[in-house]
Amino acid sequence: MKPEERLIVALDYETETPALELTRRLEGRVKIFKIGSQLFTACGPSVVEKVRRTGAEVFLDMKFHDIPNTVAGAAVSAANLGVFMMTMHASGGPEMLRKVREAVGKTSGRRPLLLAITVLTSMNAELLAAVGFKNDVKTTVLSLAALAKENGMDGVVSSPEETALLRAGLGPQFKLVTPGIRPQGSASGDQKRIAAPASAIAAGADYLVVGRPITAAPDPVAACEAILAEIKEAVK
């Protein structure tokens, strides 16, 4: 996989105008853009279609979590939009994950990568305990990731802190998508478990999700190129 194919830029905007402007500015540099619940709720499926028309792929990060039939239906709708990858919570359970894989597998066209959310990068041990999880973060992440793999998911989304553990435990083919990426000197924001691009690649990440270090930069193109340079150096 080429270095530019590993970077996913998060279009975390309230409206489509700045999102589409950024995709145009980064055209040729970034192959995948992430559309999450904020932008999708504001603009609907049309924003996915508009990003795809630029030639880029879309990572639809809606983090589906509901009863199995409802999530399976939502996943089919997402697949029919032609997205490259999508997310659902592993904590939705084995039946939900299996139904998603089965339903999406029956759609026509390319099947998107199915990624399970383990523990959000905004969570730490204290916050995890507050919502009822008894194990520490790493144990919980590995357990949820194993559940995802056993029930047909192609990979997981997890923080840089768990990447090496997941790569060792789940093998080389299981996809690892790593948010919480912050270049050296960047503010962490509301992320609790973060890492620099080179560290995440060295730990075994396949894809790196970067948002504010690019979208909030005075020069997003220069910020993007700096991150790509770090990725290229790490891949060497």
pTM above 0.75, yes or no: yes
What confidence score (pLDDT) does residue 180 get?
A: 80
What confidence score (pLDDT) does residue 199 get?
A: 87
Residue (of 119, 107, 117, 66) closest to 83 by Cα position: 107
What confidence score (pLDDT) does residue 190 get?
A: 45
The domain in which residue 140 lies consists of: 3-235
- Indicate which CATH number applies to the domain containing 105: 3.20.20.70
Residue 201, by phi and psi: left (phi above 0), alpha (psi -120 to 50) or beta? Answer: alpha
CA dihedral 214, 178, 73, 83 (to 10 degrees): 50
Among 31, 50, 63, 99, the active-site one is 63
pLDDT tens digit sequence for 46-72: 999 999 999 999 999 999 999 999 999
What confidence score (pLDDT) does residue 134 get?
A: 86
DSSP state of 65: -
- Report the length, in residues, of the chain: 236
Q: Which two tokens stand for residue 102?
A: 């089965």
Q: How many domains, the chain? A: 1
Low-confidence stretches of the chain (pLDDT beneath 50): 187-188, 190-193
Known catalytic residue at 63: yes
